[in-house]
Every structure is written in C-alpha cells, then in structure tokens.
Structure 1
Amino acid sequence: MTTVIRQDDLIESVADALQFISYYHPKDFIDAVHEAYQKEESQAAKDAMAQILINSRMSAQGRRPMCQDTGIVTVFVNIGMDVQWDADMALDDIINEGVRRAYSHPDNVLRASVLADPDGKRVNTKDNTPAIIHYKVVPGNTVEVHVAAKGGGSEAKAKFAMLNPSDSVVDWVLKVVPEMGAGWCPPGMLGIGIGGTAEKAMELAKESLLDPIDIHDLQERGASNRAEELRLELYEKVNELGIGAQGLGGLTTVLDVKVKDYPTHAANKPVAIIPNCAATRHAHFVLDGSGPALQTPPSLDDWPEITWDVGDNVRRVNLDTLKPEDVKEWQPGETVLLSGKMLTGRDAAHKRMVEFIERGEQLPVDLQGRFIYYVGPVDPVREEVVGPAGPTTATRMDKFTRTILDKTGLTGMIGKAERGQVAIDAIKEFGAVYLMAVGGSAYLVSKAIKAAKVVAFEDLGMEAIYEFEVEDMPVTVAVDSNGTSVHQTGPVQWHEKIIAAKAV
C-alpha cells in the first residue's frame, strides 16, 4: 500500500530530533557511564565522569546543550519503495530545512559550526547546514530516519587504513587508539567499519555508532560471528590500555565497541575507526504518513543523583591577583577552582594573533600574565550571560603555543585533553601551565561564568575573543610548569595496574 509523506512532517521531525538530542543523552549511555563511574578506582577519572553525569542531568532539566559543540548533522534515511512524497523541495533541501530550524530555535539556540569553503575562506553557513545525508531505498511504505550530531573533537580522531588481507584489525586498533589521545572525550564508543571500499568502511563505522550500548548482553550470550568476536576482544583490550575518562588514566576508556563489516576485494582490507564522545547524540524516528514523528522526553528519574565534592585539598585561585610565578607551585593532577577574569580564543583567534605578531602589530588584547580558555560558546538565551561553554581540543592550538607564550607573556591555557610535545616543551621553557576542563560538561561549566563580553575579533563569531568572569570554575593541572603531563603519566600508571590485577 502506498504511503504519502508530507514535506513538513519530515522537516518538523528532523528539527524536533536535533533539539531533543542537544540536551537529552540516550538512556543506555547514561546507564553505562554511571556503571563505569561506580566501579572506577582512579579518582581523577571518577571526578570527570561525575561532572559528565551532573552536566547531563542539568542539560536535561534546563533543555540546553550538554556540549557547546552541537555538532555537524549526519542523517541516515531508509526510504520505502512504496512511499510517495507530497513535496516541492528536493529531499536534501527538506532535511536541511529541518536542520536550519533546529539550530535557530529561539528557546534553545544551537551553535552553528559548519563552514563553507573548507580550504579557503572557511565562512560559517550560520545555520549548521548542510547536513551529511546517506540514503537507502528499501522495501516498505515508511521512511525511517536516524539523526546524529557529531562533535568536531571526536570526528577529528577518526582513522582509516587499507590493511593487507593478512593484517590484524585488533593490532591496528590497539596501535591507533593511544594515538587518538583524549580529544574524543572518553569514555565513549568506538565504531569500526571493515570491508567494502575506503568510503564504505568509513560509512559503516559511522553507522555502527547508532546502535545501542549492549556489550554486556553480548558478553553473556557470546559471539556468533567474527564482528561480535572483535567487539568482545577490543572492548577488553582497549580498556586495558588504561587511558580512562578524559585520558586521565583509569579503568574505563570505552563503554562499547561496535563493528560492522561488508564484503571487500580480495586484495584489500579497508578498516575505519570513528569514536563517539561523551556528548553522544542520536535519535530515530519513522514516518508512516500519519504526521510528524516527535521524540518522547525521558523521565528525569533515569538520571542518577550524583554529587561532586572537590575535596578539602582543592586550590582556589583568583586570576585577577595571580602572579606568573605562583603557578610554579601547582602540581600535576591537582584540582583548581578558578575565579576572576580570563580570555577565550580558539583556532581562528590564535591564527589571527600570530599574524599580528608576525607583522609587528599590537594585539587588540593584552595577554601578559593572563589565562586563555580554548572555547567557542553557544549563544545565550533568556537570562544566560553565555550559553554552554565547554573546552575544545587543545592540541589544535599547539602550533601557536610557543609564539604566544614567547611574545605575549601569557601565563596559562585551559582546554580539553592532552597537549602535544611541542606545546609541552614550550610550557616548560616559559614556566607556564596548562589546565584541563572536562569535555562534555559544557552546561555545568557555563554556570561558573558570571559575565561575558566580546573584546576582540567580533567578526569571528563564536571564535571571537571573549572575556569571561568566572567563579569556582573546576579544572585540573594537566601540564605543570616543569612540563609533566598527566595525560602521559596517568594512562601508563593505570595500564600497569590493570595488567597487574589480571595477573593475580
């Protein structure tokens, strides 16, 4: 029987799904993080997961984004052969209209992160379009849609290799996961695609991340094919690496591993890996001709009641009176609560500042003795001074770090995940410090921001330089002034502990 699908029903359903996933985690993800939190023995990793869980509950209550990076939209559409369309727009345009409406919703404005002319002017499209859309035409008379919003930090860690047919997928995964660092915000999921061609393997890896977290069910019933055998083996061996939540070292790095495969050429073994971060965002709906398919809000009872106590040994810092030499007392892994004024700046701002320096021009802001936070916040709504404002991946600023520290007198940086060796060497040379804020806890972080204003490069939009005034913003000393990185020491320590415990 033929079904007629109305254009507006798809638009409304896409827009509703994207709003929904911006502030509601899937229940299976919350359950998995809570389970990992309860068994975690690393205090740093446990604290990070506590912040993720608290942030998730706050986002659900406030209906505001859990992460400031509200992602690039990916859509998988299965169109029944017996479907007819009541539409005057192309299907891509219909879906993109849903994206446009979702990201500009006045009650919950989402950050537009998509840039056109990617190797040229990199101009923001202003509404997060276009989406990445995959189609299949299948038997039936419905339209099935999976919508996901993929953060740039985790997408940046995607890897692909064309292995030889005899090469080990497990060995390759265990090699590349440590190389991915913590910029993908573990704990999360790994999606792995094997076979087909290069582009098919990547699509399989992305699509696998839409499946629910069910690794414990698989452990109980056992594997029935090679893909499931790989899931079980990699789940155990990746967690044995000791990378842990936010890369700080701990028992849980992945909550699940997904594997999809497809027949391939006899000479090839394409393998792709794509991680999903702590801001896991995806939804599913089916249109059957009866109207839009809207998401059902979960119960807040689904979220655990978690409290996070910073402890008695926390260091409280007033950024307005801090002297550069004071940071030399700070210890790796130490929790610090920041109050006072800090600046912000991401890739575009750093690139422009370095261009100013190279031309011998004065910067529009004075960085001497100050801290800069790597963030691109969501626009505020209602009474907010700023929208969700979590950290972005710090390694992208590594190539600018030496110049900025040398020429401006900057004291400290705040971002997400580890720093590369070139940045660590510069931090040590100039006696600076790098602090880590928890990725995936943007709404929680924003509550510590009491005032915000743009002070330079306003044309860069969310990448402009802001001045934030914060109160008790929680961070961890990730690289101290001597160049000791907890992202290097923590995973090594916890890998050794895990292996030693297994040997007993």
Structure 2
Amino acid sequence: MIIKQEHLVESIYSSLQYISYYHSPDFIKAMVLAYENETNQSAKNAISQILINSKMCALGKRPICQDTGIVNVFIEVGMDVTWDSELSLEEMVNEGVRRAYNDSNNLLRASIVSDPLFSRKNTQDNTPAVIHTKFVKGNTLDITVAAKGGGSENKSKFTVLNPDDNLTDWILKTIPTMGAGWCPPGIIGIGVGGTAEKAMLMAKSVLMEPIDINKIKDKTEHTNIESLRIDLFDKINNLGIGAQGLGGLTTVLDVKIQDHPTHAASLPVAMIPNCAATRHVHFSLDGSGVAELPEIDMSLYPDLEMDISKYTKVDLNILTQSQMDDWNIGDTLLLSGTIITGRDAAHKRLKSMLESGEGLPNGVNFDNKFIYYVGPVEAVGDEVIGPAGPTTATRMDKFTDMMLENTGILGMIGKAERGDSTIESIKKHKASYLIAVGGAAYLISKSIKKAKVVAFEEMGMEAIYELEVKDMPVTVAVDTSGENIHKAATSIPVTYSS
C-alpha cells in the first residue's frame, strides 16, 4: 500500500479536531452510569455539568476543555508500507497538528512551550507532538491520536518497587496524593515491568483502550490482570475522592493495566491518569484515502439541564467579605459581575512588579474581586470567549498569600484542592476559594458575557482578562473559616486488606 503525505496529514488534522469536541461512546456511557449511581449531591452536580458540557461541545463543535492538550500519537507502521511523501513521518504528524490547532473554525489552545527550562516560549501551533512509532507486520498504518491535558499529566507517578512489594498498597497510598487536579472521574493507566521508560509508555498507551471494566466484572472467570483491575477499581472508588474531589462513589471509570517482562531485581511501576476530558481516537490508513472517523450517537446523552433552583445567586459587584461568612463548603453559587483572570506566568510577573515597587499593571484592579485561574481558548465567530474552564489552583498556592495581602481580592476560583498553608492564608484573610468544574469549559464560557485583555497580552493564554459573567456556576470549596471541602470529602478513613 502507498500512503500519501496529504492523507496522513489530513487524518491527523481531522482526528485532533474530532477529539477536541467528541467524547468516545464508552466514556459517555460510563459517565452516565456514574451519574445515575451517584448519591453525593456535589459530585452528582459535577458529573451532570461534565455531561451537559460534553453534549454542548458535540453539537457546537468546540473544545470540551480549554486545555486542548499535548498531542500524543502512537503509530504502528506496517513493514510493507511504501510512502508518497516529501516529509518524514514526524514532519507529517506535526503538520497535521499545526493545521488542527490553527483551524479558524475551531481554534484550539496552543499550550506547548519550547526551551522548557529557560525561555518557555510558546510554539504557537501546539507542535511538536510526542510520537511513539512501532514497526509491525502488514501494509497499513494503525494510529491512535490523543490530546492529554496538563492537569492529569502532571499527576503521573513512577516508582521502582521491590519484587515482593505489594502493588495494590502502593497504588492506594499514592492515589490520594494526586488530589483532584487530574479532574476525576477518569481512567487510571498502570504500566508494570520492563524498565522505567517502558513502564511509563505502557501506562500512557493503555489509557487508549476502551472502558470495559463492567464487562470484565460480568465474566465468570478472570485472568490475574483482570482480577487485579477489578480489585483496584473497587478499592480506589471506595477511597471516597469522587468527582472533582468532592466525595462520592466514582473516582475512576476504569483501571487499565499493561505489563512487560522485567529484571529479576526490579518491579518498575508507572501510573498515569486520564481526566474527564479524555480525548483519543484510533484509525487506520490503507492507502485508499483519508481516515474515516466514527459517527457519534447523540442519543447516548441523557436529557440533563442545570437545576438553577439549587444555586444561590451572587452579585459580585456588591459582594462584601461579611456576606461571604454565610457561605459554607458545598454551597453552589451562580456568580454575576466582574472577575479578573490570572494563571502561573501572570502571577509570576505580578510578584515581580509588586516586589519591585512598580505595583499592579495599569488597568488591572483586583479590589473586592475574585481572581479566576483560567487560560481560555480564543473566541471564534460571534463568541465572547472560547471554552474557559478552570486550571489547577494548587500551582498558584505559592502566590496566594501575596495576592491576598497586596491586591484586595476577596477570593479565588479554580479547580482541585489547596495546600495547608494556603488554607491558613484564606482563613487568616477571611477569603474564599470557589471551584468550577474541570471538564465543563464550554458550558462555563456561555456564562461569560464580556471579555477583554487588560494586561500581558503578549503572553497569549497567560494574559490577564477582565470578564463580565452572568450566572457562572461554582461550588464553595474553602469558606472564610478555613473549612475545606476536599479534606471533608475524604475524612472518613477507609480500610482495605492487602
């Protein structure tokens, strides 16, 4: 078979556009089941928003999450394949990535920076991809394309156990240390054996397999690996972390395990989570043209709408600190008014400006406002802003005391838990920390009615925006007395047998 350059480039492009707005059917089914079974109201609300967001994205063909990921491509090249191409395989893949992320009809956020230790300059087109190539018998290309969000990627874990150590013990000890920044519910990939790099590669690649844990459970006989998967699935969910770390019955939708022969003195173990914006698709090329991608059955989605009667409306423009004293963790709010955004790089520059005596940038006024940790997708068409879900708040912990002491902010909006010292700072300043649902970026963006860059425009997604919001859904995660929903959700000790 002759594989043409344009067919591969176009297939990479179309697959990345496809996974930016389509969840796979197995994921939708697993999330619907999780929603139906959930008894924790905060977690059920989060799962509902993720499903509503997913359906909106499928219909509107806009990204599920503002973090449109680092591209991972797994390619099995048939040894009988011949090429009609002027570009190398890597160059063809990256050309497809470049086209996908710069498509004016559905712009995707460019998050990749070169020179990672020093200048960290954005490449502007999300290249280069991370490409894994394997040569196999045959005359086709089998390709899996994934877009992996930074929040889940940052929670990857690796260890080398002793051969007689208990894998389950290590996993159940490690999962709680990952917090909620990986946006559960999602999938856990585990690679066991080989070498360090082999274990990590297996943990990543096994995430691309279909969600099938309930089918495995229904079997009358199980392999050792299947039995381990079931055991870990049940025990991880019994930890009570739940959707977005809010507690509840479903932390993982599946646990996938792949192993490989290893050295007699070693037991390398890698664990990588996939978030609620799980994005991947598989296709084959046989020389006949561009890949055909699966149709999405919209009937898989339940008929869900946000029940705003369960939310308290808050006017941010007249909100006072004393009014926030009435909030309790778990309260659901609809925010209206002005908020200011800021992410890692913006906080770093603000710190430098405050320490030098320069003060805040012209046009930036945090006084009596909330700061929203977000790096939105660029708007297309008549949009005010593109998908604009929260980023992991933990990364901003080291700046929180500075912001509360020097800018007059009332609090922060992000996702996932905060560190102990940050909780103390929030309590000291009588501030609040609110969480928006990671994995509901397009839904959240519809509550943003005006958006303008007010500082650091040259930093792209890291720029500071002033947003006018109307009924933006959030949950109180840390109240003014320092009560913390993420700690409360997992405060009941869980015992298990090794």
Query: How many angstroms does 1:302 deviate by?
Result: 2.2
Q: Percent identity?
A: 58
Deviations 1:124-149 (CA, angstroms, capped at 9, x unpaired): 00000000000000000000000000
SS of the residue corresponding to residue 52 of structure 2 reads helix
User: Which residue, out of 11, 33, 37, partners 1:39?
Assistant: 37
Where does residue 457 of structure 1 map in the other structure?
456
Is 1:243 aligned with 2:244? no
Tell me the residue number matched to 1:352.
349
Partner amino acid, structure 2, of 1:393:
T
Q: How far apart in 2 are the matches of 1:296 and 1:197?
A: 35
Counterpart among 311, 315, 339 of residue 318 in structure 1: 315
**8 A Cα contact 1:334 1:477, kept in partner:** yes
- d(CA) in 1 for partners of 2:376, 2:107: 11
Matches within 5 A, 1:57-206: 57-206=55-204
TM-score, normalised via structure 2 length: 0.98
Amino acid at match of 1:21: I
Q: Which aligned pairs between 1:215-230 and structure 2 lie closer than 5 A? A: 215-222=213-220, 224-230=222-228
Measure, in 1, the Cα distance between the counterparts of 2:80 and 2:109. 37
- Describe the shift of the 1:272–1:223 C-alpha distance in structure 2 as closer, same or farther (beyond 3 A): farther
- Return the offset for 1:222: 4.9
Partner of 2:278: 280
Whether 1:343 and 2:343 are equivalent positions in the alignment is: no
> Where does the alignment leave 5 or more consecutive residues of structure 2 unmatched?
none
Q: How many residues align structurally? A: 495
Alpha-carbon distance in 1 for matches of 2:90, 2:135:
15
Alpha-carbon distance in 1 for matches of 2:344, 2:386? 20
- 1:406 is aligned to 405
How far apart are the structure 1 equivalents of 2:40 and 2:454? 39
Task: Measure the CA separation in 2 of the matches of 1:163 and 1:351.
Answer: 37
| Alpha carbons 1:239, 1:251 under 8 Å: kept | yes
Is 1:49 the counterpart of 2:47? The answer is yes
Question: Secondary structure of the equivalent of 2:190?
Answer: strand
Secondary structure, aligned partner of 2:353: helix
Q: Which residue of the partner structure matches residue 396 of structure 1?
A: 395
User: Would the aligned equivalents of 1:223 and 1:229 in 2 still touch at CA under 8 Å?
Assistant: no
* Residue in 2 that maps onto 1:369: 368
Q: CA deviation at 1:220?
A: 1.3
Note if 1:424 corresponds to 2:420: no
SS in 1 for 2:443: helix
Note the C-alpha offset of 1:325.
2.7
**Range with bigger deviation, 322-331 or 65-74:** 322-331
How far apart in 2 are the matches of 1:475 and 1:222?
44
TM-score after normalising by structure 1: 0.96
CA-CA distance at 1:303 after TM superposition: 1.6
Aligned residue for 1:206, secondary structure, equals helix
> How far is the alpha carbon of 1:360 from its aligned partner?
1.3
Q: Distance in 2 between matches of 1:418 and 1:226?
A: 35
**Matched residue SS, 2:334:** strand
Q: 1:411, 1:433 within 8 Å by CA — same for their partners in 2?
A: yes
2:488 corresponds to which letter in structure 1?
A: T
| Preserved contact between residue 310 and residue 335 of structure 1 (Cα < 8 Å) | no
Match of 1:29 in 2: 27
Tell me which amino acid in the other structure corresponds to 1:420: G
Give the CA deviation at 1:166: 0.8
Residue number in structure 2 paired with 1:481: 480
Aligned-pair CA distance for 1:190: 0.2
Which segment drifts farther, 216-225 or 150-159? Answer: 216-225
Tell me the amino acid that sits aligned with residue 27 of structure 1. Answer: P
* In 2, Cα distance between equivalents of 1:351 and 1:39: 42
Deviates more, 1:391-400 or 1:354-363: 354-363
Q: What whole-Å deviation, never above 9, does each CA across 1:334-372 have from its counterpart, x for those lacking one? A: 011100110000000011111111111110122221100
**In structure 1, C-alpha distance between the alignment counterparts of 2:299 and 2:143, rounded to whole Å:** 27
Q: Distance in 1 between matches of 2:477 and 2:370?
A: 14
CA distance in 2, matches of 1:147, 1:422: 40
Once residues 46 and 222 of structure 2 are traced to their aligned partners in structure 1, the CA distance between those partners, rounded to angstroms, is: 35
Cα deviation, residue 315, structure 1: 2.0
Instruction: Say whether the 8 Å CA contact 1:240–1:251 is kept in structure 2.
Output: yes
SS of alignment partner, residue 308 of structure 2: coil
* CA shift digits 1:148-171 (9 cap, x unpaired): 000000000000001111111100
In structure 2, the partner of 1:490 is 489
Aligned to 1:293: 291
Contact 2:242 2:251 in 1 (8 A): yes
Q: CA deviation at 1:50?
A: 0.4
Q: Give the secondary-structure state (helix, strand or coil) at the position aligned to 2:117.
A: coil
Distance in 2 (CA, whole Å) between partners of 1:280 and 1:116 is 25
Pair 1:363–1:223, CA change in 2 (3 A): farther
Q: Please say if residues 17 and 294 of structure 1, whose CA atoms lie closer than 8 Å, have aligned partners that are also in contact.
A: no
Q: Is the 8 A contact 1:458 1:464 kept in 2?
A: yes
- TM-aligned CA deviation for residue 299 of structure 1: 2.5
Say if 1:412 and 1:434, in contact at 8 Å, map to a contact too.
yes
Structure 1's 10 and 40: CA in aligned 2 closer, same or farther, altered over 3 A? same
